[in-house]
Structure 1
Amino acid sequence: MTDITRRNLFKAVAASAVAVPLVRATRADATETCVPADPHWGHGIEDQRKADLGNGRYLNPIVAGDHPDPTVLKDGDDYYMTFTPFTASPGIVIWHSTDLLNWSPVATALHKPMGNVFAVNLCKYKDRYYIYLPAQRPGGDWAIFVIWARQVTGPWSDPIDTGVTGCIDPAHVVGEDGKRYLFVNGIRMVRLTDDGLAADGPLKHAYTPWHYPSDWVVEDFAPEGPKLLRRDGWFYLVSAVGGTAGPPTSHMVIVARSRSVHGPWENCPHNPIVHTRSAAEPWWSRGHATFIDGPAGDWWMIYHGYENSFRTLGRQALLEPMEWTADGWPVATGGDLSRPLPIPAGGKPGPAGFALSDDFSSNRFGIQWAFHDPRPDEIQRARYGGNGLQLAGAGHSPADSSPMVCRVGDRAYVAEIGFELSGDAEAGLLLFYNHKAFVGVGFTPDTIKTFEYAQELPWARIKRDNRRVRVRMTNDHNVVTFEYSHDDGHSWQLHTIRMEVSGINHNVFGDFLSLRVGLYSTGATPARLHDFRYRAIKGNPLI
């Protein structure tokens, strides 16, 4: 079909303005497709999937959606965990659990835009909590910053530059000498001052990691993600090699131990203790693990992985049981992670996740919403009050704006929102990865726009009054459909272009991100947003 024919066909369909029912073909048997059938997860708030099946067993992930590089702290009977925020601001959401299985957010630690923030480390030393975070200085070089608080829920300090440069993936440990150290990618180490706020010595080589056989299919050697713990007189250094994306078999977990943080380090004879060996497995590129003792004293690993056929969801948080051998080495015991596993013993179940639907009556930035890569002056673009949220404009389109984004963790879902436009305001609903990769629909006061794979389709514009409009997006296993309504959702018009988005992931567009629900606004007049609704779709794919 020529571009002219396609354009004329679209105009003819748009001009008809007749609502078309959404029709889907029945999917072929799951064994005949590369998309695996949905396992039977538990379903919680808004039918979002959750790990706890309610019968003494669980099914990964424990935190669904884009939650990479988990760092976990046990603090008495409580567990706290946070993840890489990348460019999201506010960022560094802290999650809480009492059973290692059910997690819910309780605080946001970083409220100042820091650019791209990579794998962070949450730890406690004496009576203070610390988060060590890599970010780029204004000059462009990477450095390790630190924030601290007396309560894990904050308030947290402003970021402090530790003076450790050219590093990511920090991990705090107290040595046998009582001194504080950071291990970083490489694997290198640096001593810290007693207050933990600055380097107190040079950065130096710490460990030459175990190397996999040369014929293994991986992305890169890339020693990274160190985590340390002390047990029975040994320091255990848990790290990742193989690259965090690329082929499904890339990432892996390796272990070494030493009597001293200064080495020498002895490699585990069972390395790698976690490794995806086939693209047929349910979880790919598994790595960046933290070892943690459970409520009953047994041991577990929390790490991230990509879901088979759903790289669009980013790297998700996984829980796997582990044991210690008689000679003091760890072994993973989860086996096939596509099947339910026994839950950690002795824990007290708590809430899992949170509702994504938002009436905009209270500020949910930092927990649910964040701006993608905002400038420092953009953090105040959202104003609460009255009937909804006013979102001031930025840029000229989603390609150069800082949209509000929300991470989701379901394979299929429906998201819906209302816009009120005045003046020259433009607003829209997106599935947003980065400025090079997004899809969605936008509304000016008199035009409907279509964004397909990061570009607007001028030939697909529809002339229509949009001063008040609701828009609904259905993402059904990576096939995306849009509908819009001009009578507050009583009747819906099917948008005539559907999009397939499984290729919008790191292996194509970089940045290690996920497809997030996005809301954008441009123009001199703010757009008013109201009544955001989210609902997961349960069951097998219908396409």
Structure 2
Amino acid sequence: MDISRREAFAAALAGSAAAVTGPATAAPRNAPDWKRGFDNQRIADLGDGRFLNPLISGDRADPAILKDGADYYMTFSSFDSYPGLTIWHSRDLANWQPRKAALSKNIGSVWAVSLEKHDGRYFLYIPVKAKPNSIFVIWADHIDGPWSDPIDLGLHGHIDPCHAAGEDGSRWLFLSGGDRIRLSADGLSTVGAVEHVYDPWRYPDEWEVEGFSPEGPKIHRHGNWFYMITAVGGTAGPPTGHMVIAARATSIHGPWENCPANPLVRTVSASEKWWSRGHASLVEAPDGSWWSVYHGFENGYWTLGRQTLLDPVEWTKDGWFKMKGGDLSQPMRKPKRGTALPHGQALSDDFSKPLALGSKWNFFKPAPDEAARARVEDGALVLKASGTAPSGSSPLLLIAGDPAYQFECDIEIAPGGIAGLLLFYDEKLYCGLGFDSKRFVTHQYGIERGRPANPHGTRMRMRVTNNRHIVSFHTSADNGRTWQRFDRGMEVSGYHHNVRGGFLMLRPGLYSAGEGEARFRDFRFRAL
């Protein structure tokens, strides 16, 4: 980025930041704030021995965590994004880096996986929403792969598997609803039939919830007990619905007794910082302290999806445990040991290296050969056209975890091409701005609307600002030295799961449709 364009970008950011600090949106004077990392993105580690949730921002739902010696690995539901199931790495539980994606073949919408290591081999048990729904398994001898092709376990109608090994060496998958099924010794097939082994604790009828929905079981062995942690109350819907409950048994075979302190985590008021908290796991930190990771929606930002949260855990004298982080709105002491890795990654991309598919960029609902559409060439992402609009183009998307941000890119189209920048939830709900050689095309509510004249021709620089759900567009014919505001603004607070379903998030991205190839240069992202 040259000096004049960098200065213009900084000035625009300063103006956007000033616009969100007025009386209508100003935070309380004593409210904590985050430290900033790559592209000014917020990070949890405050640098003074404390951290502030979210642990990993943006749509990092259903965290599956694995302690592997001094290393920690975690992955999340990747839904319809491929390559998916990116493995994140930490050594201190507070700072995380993405590594590689474990799943490249599109087998459906990926929900709530189980990440395990057994006898030196890594396993991912993957439930998918497809026709029919099922659970797959992939394995690898190294966390970075190569991972095997998916193996269908034939568990139709079941979700949210958790691998567990019994005291007798048996291997099991625990499933939602209090069910389980035995696994073969190699973990790659099932033995026998699904059986019901646990009746989850039930909340009072007067609580405002989405539904009972016992799901996401996590099995942990600690001391003389096996602990089963389950989510009930529904994953979304009312902010007070989702919650964490626990049960325990002296044997993997039960019987299971419910914790007398259930629920261990629950949002009790819509005024709290984090809504719908659940899908919890336990993990031991490098200093021997215990913690729980789970997900939740940020107050007012369903559009960001369910973000990963970290909560300190205390083991009690009666052999149970409790969460100590309260509503997670304030900074807390992080684990005392472990090596901090640089957290997160830059979302800006100058396309000087091979495209970071999986670790950064993902296609939405890709065809088997979708990756062949994209190549990096002479400092540009070259993306072959597909479909006639974003709904059929399998756009390339990022996960952005800040409430306000701006991104821009130089875009050049071929004859007959259409390209642009998006805020994309799914193929039926998105917004953005695109252009062909003669006209703009406005994307709103997942449809194509106004088509005013395009004075720039086949190449322009385009900028999108998502300022706490207020969206504006700017274009430039001189590579960002001067900008013209596009005459269409939008408000996108309703682009989320409780409106559309799907458990996704509103993601920045780019698309290429029509004919030929589009070239994207100098993609710049910055949180506000």
TM-score, scaled to structure 2: 0.94
- CA deviations 1:92-148 (Å, max 9, x no partner) are 0000000100001111101111221111110000110000001256xx111111110
What is the CA distance between 1:39 and its match in structure 2? 3.6
| Structural mapping, 1:425-436, within 5 Å | 425-436=417-428
Q: Is the 8 A contact 1:171 1:184 kept in 2?
A: yes
Aligned residue number for residue 141 of structure 1: 132
Aligned residue number for residue 146 of structure 2: 155
CA 1:37 to 1:64, structure 2 compared with 1: closer, same or farther past 3 Å?
Answer: farther
Alignment partners' CA distance in 1, 2:458 and 2:490? 26
**Which of 161, 181, 185 is the equivalent residue of 1:190?**
181
| Structural mapping, 1:107-256, within 5 Å | 107-136=100-129, 140-256=131-247
- SS of 1:380's partner is helix
- CA deviations 1:427-458 (Å, max 9, x no partner) are 01000001121110001112111112212223
Greater mean deviation of Cα atoms: 63-72 or 108-117: 108-117
CA 1:394 to 1:487, structure 2 compared with 1: closer, same or farther past 3 Å?
Answer: same
CA 1:32 to 1:427, structure 2 compared with 1: closer, same or farther past 3 Å?
Answer: closer
CA 1:381 to 1:36, structure 2 compared with 1: closer, same or farther past 3 Å?
Answer: farther
Q: Is the 8 A contact 1:448 1:464 kept in 2?
A: no
Alignment partners' CA distance in 2, 1:43 and 1:216? 38
- SS of 1:399's partner is helix
Alignment partners' CA distance in 1, 2:447 and 2:397? 19
1:354 aligns with 2:345: yes
Q: Is the 8 A contact 1:89 1:379 kept in 2?
A: no
Alignment partners' CA distance in 2, 1:320 and 1:249? 18
Aligned residue number for residue 5 of structure 2: none
Aligned residue number for residue 484 of structure 1: 475
- SS of 2:303's partner is strand
1:336 aligns with 2:327: yes
User: What letter is aligned with 1:110?
Assistant: L
Q: Is the 8 A contact 1:30 1:37 kept in 2?
A: no
1:88 aligns with 2:85: no
Aligned residue number for residue 290 of structure 1: 281
Aligned residue number for residue 469 of structure 1: 460
Q: Is the 8 A contact 1:129 1:152 kept in 2?
A: yes
The unaligned stretches of length 5 or more in structure 1 are 1-18, 538-543
Give the total of aligned pairs: 515
What is the CA distance between 1:165 and its match in structure 2? 2.3
What is the CA distance between 1:33 and its match in structure 2? 8.2
Alignment partners' CA distance in 2, 1:101 and 1:201? 41
Identity %: 51
Q: Is the 8 A contact 2:56 2:307 kept in 1?
A: yes
Alignment partners' CA distance in 2, 1:40 and 1:241? 31
Q: Is the 8 A contact 2:59 2:504 kept in 1?
A: yes
Aligned residue number for residue 535 of structure 1: 526
**Which of 291, 302, 309 is the equivalent residue of 1:311?**
302
CA 1:394 to 1:141, structure 2 compared with 1: closer, same or farther past 3 Å?
Answer: same
Aligned residue number for residue 401 of structure 2: 409
- CA deviations 1:261-320 (Å, max 9, x no partner) are 221100001100000000000000000001001111111000000000111110000000
Alignment partners' CA distance in 2, 1:168 and 1:77? 30
Alignment partners' CA distance in 1, 2:36 and 2:17? 24
Q: Is the 8 A contact 1:22 1:494 kept in 2?
A: no
- SS of 1:163's partner is coil
Alignment partners' CA distance in 2, 1:522 and 1:231? 54
| Structural mapping, 1:521-532, within 5 Å | 521-532=512-523
User: What letter is aligned with 1:68?
Assistant: A
What is the CA distance between 1:167 and its match in structure 2? 1.1
Q: Is the 8 A contact 1:34 1:309 kept in 2?
A: no
Aligned residue number for residue 105 of structure 1: 98
Aligned residue number for residue 40 of structure 1: 33
What is the CA distance between 1:29 and its match in structure 2? 6.9
- SS of 1:462's partner is coil
1:450 aligns with 2:442: yes
TM-score, scaled to structure 1: 0.92
Alignment partners' CA distance in 2, 1:153 and 1:322? 30
Greater mean deviation of Cα atoms: 418-427 or 94-103: 418-427
The unaligned stretches of length 5 or more in structure 2 are 1-11
Aligned residue number for residue 7 of structure 2: none
Aligned residue number for residue 394 of structure 1: 386
Aligned residue number for residue 358 of structure 2: 366
- SS of 2:499's partner is helix
CA 1:75 to 1:36, structure 2 compared with 1: closer, same or farther past 3 Å?
Answer: farther
User: What letter is aligned with 2:346?
Assistant: A
Aligned residue number for residue 75 of structure 1: 68
Alignment partners' CA distance in 2, 1:373 and 1:23? 33
User: What letter is aligned with 1:369?
Assistant: W
CA 1:35 to 1:514, structure 2 compared with 1: closer, same or farther past 3 Å?
Answer: farther
Q: Is the 8 A contact 1:30 1:36 kept in 2?
A: no
Alpha-carbon RMSD across the aligned residues, in angstroms, is 2.0
Alignment partners' CA distance in 2, 1:143 and 1:421? 41
